[in-house]
Each structure stands twice: as C-alpha cells, then as structure tokens.
Amino acid sequence: MSNVELDQLRQKVDEMNLQLLDVINQRAELVQEIGRVKEKQGVNKFEPVRERAMLDLLAENNKGPFLNSTIEHIFKEIFKAGLELQKDDHRKALLV
Amino acid sequence: MSNVELDQLRQKVDEMNLQLLDVINQRAELVQEIGRVKEKQGVNKFEPVRERAMLDLLAENNKGPFLNSTIEHIFKEIFKAGLELQKDDHRKALLV
C-alpha cells in the first residue's frame, strides 16, 4: 500500500476525530443542562448508579474492536470531564 | 423541571454515548488498518508529530464547552487505546 493510501486512511481518522469532537461537546452541553436541573432540585451531581447504567448500556452495545474494559476507561474520562464542567458552572453560579 | 424532563435529557445522553461508541470503534478499525499498512512498511507505529497534528486540528475546531486541554486529555486516551490495539494485532501476527 502506498503512502497515498496511508494519507487517505489518516484523513478518514481526522474526519472521525472531528465527528467525535462534535458529539463530545454536544454531550457536554446536555450534561451542563442536567447539572442546572439538578442544581435547582438540590440533587447530588455524581450518581454512581447512573454511571454504572451508562457503562452497562455501552458494554451491551459494544461490537468491538475495542474491549469493554477499554470502552469503559475512555468513557469514564468523558464522564469525569462532564462532571468537572458541572462543578465549574456551580462555582460560577456562586460568584454571580 | 420535572424528573420526566431529566429522564429525557438522560435518554439523549445515552443516545450520544452510543453514537460515540460507534464512531470510536469505527475509528479503531481504521487505526488497525493503518497499523497493518505500517507493519508491512516497517514503519514505527507511534508518531508524536502525527499525534500533535491531530490534537492541533481538534483545538482549531473546538467550539466548547470543553476546553482544549480537556479535549486533548480525552483524545490522548483514545489515541493510546488505538495504539494498544495495534500492539495486540502485532503480537497476534507474531504468533501465527
């Protein structure tokens, strides 16, 4: 396979990266919205049961090539980042 | 906002999780393909310059709410998982 074909594969990876970026940020906006709702309701932001349910749904739907353990690791990072965003919003809300 | 609305928001998050799962695995397949090409060419799998270029493209296109540093952190985990997959394929190829 030539380097032209390698470049084509890489271009597809870049396109997928941008697609992921888009969905990850859309998801973050939803998580912020959920944070605002919980803030009003005075509910705890981090719910391990909900996190487990999300991971289980992902494992059920995972067709690979990534193993469930890898998917779980990646998504836990995404969840953690979302939680940090909610905390930042909370801090900003307190400063207003 | 009622819990019904909270449930609706969570359902949307689940849908996005599944969408991310799908693209993350599609991306992994491409990375495996790239790994096979590099294997044939005897090229090194990890290329810091290429990783930096991917991260720069993501930063350029990042409209938030996640900061570039958060996006970089999440994607580095995805990149690392892809590289592990290539290494596994390499080990399997050696065993054949």
**How many other C-beta atoms lie within 10 A of the C-beta of residue B5?**
12
Torsion of CA B57, A76, B92, A8, to 10 degrees: -20
B30 contacts chain A (CB < 8 A)? yes
Are residues A37 and B85, on separate chains, in Cβ contact within 8 Å?
A: no
Homologous superfamily (CATH) of A3-95 is: Chorismate mutase (1.20.59.10)
* Structure confidence at residue A75 (pLDDT): 98
Contacts of A90 in chain B (CB under 8 A): none
Tokens (6 digits) for B39: 């294997």
Contacts of A13 in chain B (CB under 8 A): 27, 30-31, 34, 54
* Structure confidence at residue B2 (pLDDT): 65
How many helices (H) and strands (E) in chain A?
Answer: 3, 0
The secondary structure of residue A45, as a DSSP letter, is: S
CA distance A70 to B28: 11
Are residues A62 and B25, on separate chains, in Cβ contact within 8 Å?
A: yes
CA distance A69 to A80: 16
* Structure confidence at residue B70 (pLDDT): 98
Residue pair B36/A8 in contact by the 8 Å Cβ criterion? no
Are residues B64 and A25, on separate chains, in Cβ contact within 8 Å?
A: yes
By Cβ distance, the residue of B1, B16, B71 closest to A23 is B16
CA distance B75 to A78: 10
CA atoms within 13 A on the CB side of A11: 6
pLDDT in tens, chain A (96 residues): 468 889 999 999 999 999 999 999 999 999 999 999 998 888 877 889 999 999 999 999 999 999 999 999 999 999 999 999 999 988 888 887
* Structure confidence at residue A47 (pLDDT): 87
Contacts of B40 in chain A (CB under 8 A): 1
Contacts of B65 in chain A (CB under 8 A): 25, 28-29, 32, 85
Residue pair B35/B85 in contact by the 8 Å Cβ criterion? yes
If you count residue pairs, one on A and one on B, with CB atoms under 8 Å apart, how many are there?
A: 137
CA distance A86 to A52: 19
> Average pLDDT of each block of 10 consecutive residues along chain B (96 residues)?
85 98 98 92 86 98 98 98 93 83
Q: Which residues of B34-68 are buried (b: 16+ CB within 10 A; e: fewer)?
A: bbebbeeeeeeeeeeeeeeebbeebeeebeebbee
By Cβ distance, the residue of B6, B28, B84 closest to A34 is B6
* Structure confidence at residue B29 (pLDDT): 97
Residue pair A27/B13 in contact by the 8 Å Cβ criterion? yes
